[in-house]
Amino acid sequence: MGFGQFLKAPEYDIKIITYRDVFQSTALESSGCGDEYAERSAVILLDKGDMKKMVLKAGRKAVLKNNFGRVVVHLRPSDYEKGHEGIGYMTNSPWSNALVSSETGGSGVPKFKMIIASISDAKDEKVTSFDE
């Protein structure tokens, strides 16, 4: 038991862009909301440079939170050729939807595409479950 366990992980502000993914959609159809769907959905893709700057490691988990929700997801480096500093990508899923504001600005449609949140290392936390 070390002193470091009592220190809060540093938080960084990011913008999250959501997108559709054919493999995630196929997993939803074949396994419902099973393990394969969760493995493809409970993920944020970050720019490799951002991960280095934020001292976040691939294969670990990250806490994403804002005024509307908090989730723990898997952290993976983006394989996009062009860098996208300050922007993370998530598939449309319960994990990304947990961070979406219910405010619609009179349009009746929430803003799913540009979610403002903070990110930090999840340490030993488990990925958020929506089984309940």
Give tens-digit pLDDT for 68-96: 999 999 999 998 777 789 999 998 888 99
Residue 122 CB partners (closer than 8 Å, separation 6+): 9, 60, 61, 62, 63, 72
41 pLDDT band (50/70/90 cuts)? confident
| DSSP for 4-21, written as a single string | GGGSPPP-EEEEEEEE--
The structural domains of the chain, ordered by start, are 11-121 (2.40.40.20)
**pLDDT above 70 as % of the chain:** 73
**pLDDT above 90 as % of the chain:** 47
For residues 87 and 104, give the distance between their C-alpha atoms in angstroms, rounded to a whole number. Answer: 22
What is residue 59's three-state secondary structure? coil
Checking if the pLDDT of 1 tops 70, the result is no
Give tens-digit pLDDT for 25-38: 565 555 665 666 67
| DSSP for 62-125, written as a single string | EEEEETTEEEEEEEEE---SS--TTEEEEESSHHHHTT--S--TTSSS---S-EEEEEEE-TTP
